[in-house]
Amino acid sequence: KEMNALNPSAAGTWLGVMGGGQLGRMFAHAAQQMGFKVAVLEPSIDCPASHAADYLHCADYTDADALKKMAEQCAAVTTEFENVSARSLALLAENTFVAPSADCVSIAQDRMEEKRFFIDCAAKSGVFPAPHKEIKSDADIDSVPDDLLPGILKTVRMGYDGKGQVRVKTRDELRQAYADMEGAHCVLEKMLPLAYEISVLSARGADGQSVVYPIAENVHRDGILFTTTVPGPHITPESAAKAQAAALAIIEQMGYVGVLCIEFFVLTDGSLVANEMAPRPHNSGHYTIDACVTSQFAQQARAMARLPLGDVRQHSPAAMLNILGDIWFEGDSEKAHEPAWDKVLALPGANLHLYGKNSARRARKMGHVTFIAPTIEEAQENLRKACAILG
Ligand code: ADP
Ligand code: MG
């Protein structure tokens, strides 16, 4: 298909997205606002994006027939989850424009490739990944240097929200943890002294132009993002500038098109470490919907449509609270009750986003609420009040 910018007002200019989760839903909202029609490919009918999309290809992510139909329908296709098979993206690319590309997505799907890529970029980005060793066999455990322990054993593929990782103190614990992984390809990372965690959202257009959003400071609980605060309470202007420059160097070297989120650790000595990247809009970038001129989802639509990228300027301090299914349940009770949204919405600057999931489950991402305020302290104060209300 032609590589000119797409025209959102032309009847039937469709953008496609692989995956029907909340990211697909919020992408649909943003792309539709600009006039595009949105198609989603997702096997489950009752997914968050199916109620927002103009069309649902209800099929497995690898269904060749459905991929062909979506590629013929859509002038460009993107992905909302990173574990989509790179082969599916390559198949789509035979008939339409795919952004990010299968090659870029496959780097982000594999922690070893991701680390190798960060190392390849280090001359330009100035940032390295955590010290690590690939673990593919018991013999690899014997040759782990002592100074990688204590560490975190992570599966190379499919890990997210803290899943597929085990913290180990000793070589014996490492041996046991690796045995429990039942042969999965792993990587051991040295446990680093984190001062705080940040993520850097950037976007690059097909014309090579790139933009970087303000630094988001993230707090995780039980491996899942808990809050994002922008501007962050700990980040210094020097670290922020360094992380933004590193993100731009990385997205450039990848030849990436679309929105990319890179997580960095800031260590207690102030140094930056590249942790991982997500080849898509990211949970820590949800604040951009309410607090930036161009949201990460609108940016994704612009990038894939080869339109000019939007202004990344933040117009309000923002504090985002993730809403997990746990708050529907009291203690160990199995009986769900609806949270007090009226009280949350009574707080100043509250922007509630619920994803329309059919049922609440513990640790399931059900929505988020972003507080915007004239100062970051007020936004944080209202977030704390929301936490107290929601329990
Ligand atoms: P996921 O894909 O589940 O997000 P991450 O690699 O980001 O996996 O790890 C989840 C969290 O675990 C991080 O946000 C950080 O808090 C902690 N963590 C991960 N790797 C390290 C490390 N090498 N040292 C210290 N903490 C780490
Ligand atoms: Mg992470």
Residue 83 Cβ inside 6 Å of ligand 1? The answer reads no
| Count of domains for the chain | 3
- Residue matched to tokens 């959003």: 213
50-59, 169-178, 333-342, 380-389, range with the lowest pLDDT: 333-342
Are 178 and 312 contained in the same domain? no
Exposed (0-12), middle (13-18) or buried (19+): which is 315, by Cβ within 10 Å? Answer: exposed
Residue 197 Cβ inside 6 Å of ligand 1? The answer reads yes
- In a domain? residue 54: yes
What mean pLDDT is predicted for residues 90-99?
A: 97
- Tell me the pLDDT of the chain averaged across its residues: 96
- The full DSSP string for 86-119 is HHHHHHHHTTSEESS-HHHHHHHTBHHHHHHHHH
Do the Cβ atoms of 8 and 36 come closer than 8 Å?
Answer: yes
Looking at residue 79, what is its pLDDT? 98
- Give the integer Cα–Cα distance in Å for 225 and 178: 26
Could you say which of 55, 81, 98 is where a domain stops? 98
**Distance (Å) from CA 163 to ligand 2 centroid:** 10
Are 314 and 381 contained in the same domain? yes
Q: Give the nearest ligand 1 atom to 162 CA.
A: 3
Are 298 and 238 contained in the same domain? yes
Q: pLDDT tier at 91 (50, 70, 90 boundaries)? A: very high
Are 345 and 202 contained in the same domain? yes
Plot region of 342 (φ>0 → left; ψ -120 to 50 → alpha; else → beta) = alpha
Are 261 and 358 contained in the same domain? yes
- Give the integer Cα–Cα distance in Å for 344 and 350: 7
Residue ranges making up the domain that contains 93: 14-98
User: pTM score, two decimals?
Assistant: 0.96
Is the predicted pLDDT of residue 253 greater than 60, yes or no? Answer: yes
Q: Any bridge partners for residue 292, and if so which? A: 314
Are 184 and 212 contained in the same domain? no
Burial call 12-30: b when 16+ CB within 10 Å, e when fewer: ebbbbbbbbbbbbbbbbbb
Share of the chain above pLDDT 90, in %: 92
Give the tens place of pLDDT for each residue, 39-48: 999 999 999 9
End-to-end CA separation in angstroms for the chain: 51
Residue 161 Cβ inside 6 Å of ligand 1? The answer reads yes
Is the predicted pLDDT of residue 321 greater than 60, yes or no? Answer: yes
- In a domain? residue 207: yes
Which CA distances in Å does 258 have to 45, 79, 111, 113? 27, 10, 20, 20
Is the predicted pLDDT of residue 1 greater than 70, yes or no? Answer: no
Residue 34 Cβ inside 6 Å of ligand 1? The answer reads no
Give the tens place of pLDDT for each residue, 195-211: 999 999 999 999 999 99
- In a domain? residue 119: no
Residue 152 Cβ inside 6 Å of ligand 1? The answer reads yes
Looking at residue 62, what is its pLDDT? 97
Looking at residue 296, what is its pLDDT? 98
SS3 48: coil
163 assigned to a ligand binding site: yes
Q: What is the CATH number of the domain that holds 87?
A: 3.40.50.20
Q: What is the CATH number of the domain that holds 354?
A: 3.30.470.20
**Distance (Å) from CA 251 to ligand 2 centroid:** 18
- In a domain? residue 261: yes
Q: Give the nearest ligand 1 atom to 111 CA.
A: 6
Do the Cβ atoms of 245 and 207 come closer than 8 Å?
Answer: no
**Distance (Å) from CA 342 to ligand 1 centroid:** 35
Tokens of 343: 């009280």
What mean pLDDT is predicted for residues 164-179?
A: 95
Query: What does the radius of gyration of the chain's CA atoms come to, in whole angstroms?
Result: 21
Tell me how many degrees the CA angle 55-37-359 measures, rounded to the nearest 5: 50
Q: pLDDT tier at 224 (50, 70, 90 boundaries)? A: very high
- In a domain? residue 6: no
Looking at residue 250, what is its pLDDT? 98
Tokens of 60: 């497995």
Share of the chain above pLDDT 70, in %: 99
Are 44 and 171 contained in the same domain? no
SS3 391: coil
- Give the integer Cα–Cα distance in Å for 12 and 30: 16
Is the predicted pLDDT of residue 2 greater than 60, yes or no? Answer: no
Element (H, E) at 166: strand 165-168
Residue nearest to atom 1 of ligand 1 (CA): 160
Looking at residue 183, what is its pLDDT? 87
- List all residues 6 or more positions away from 166 whose beta carbon is below 8 Å from its beta carbon: 152, 153, 177, 180, 181
Looking at residue 317, what is its pLDDT? 98
- Residue matched to tokens 């808990």: 226
Q: pLDDT tier at 4 (50, 70, 90 boundaries)? A: confident
Q: What is the CATH number of the domain that holds 155?
A: 3.30.1490.20
Q: Give the nearest ligand 1 atom to 190 CA.
A: 23
Looking at residue 353, what is its pLDDT? 98
Give the tens place of pLDDT for each residue, 270-317: 999 999 999 999 999 999 999 999 999 999 999 999 999 999 999 999
What mean pLDDT is predicted for residues 21-34?
A: 98
SS3 24: helix
160 assigned to a ligand binding site: yes
Are 76 and 221 contained in the same domain? no
Are 228 and 261 contained in the same domain? yes
Please indicate whether residue 214 or residue 82 has the higher confidence score (pLDDT). 214
Are 295 and 356 contained in the same domain? yes
CA torsion sign for 276, 282, 283, 287 is: positive
- Give the integer Cα–Cα distance in Å for 144 and 139: 9
Are 89 and 225 contained in the same domain? no
Looking at residue 9, what is its pLDDT? 80
**Distance (Å) from CA 156 to ligand 2 centroid:** 13
- In a domain? residue 3: no
SS3 192: coil
Ligand nearest to the CA of 223: 1
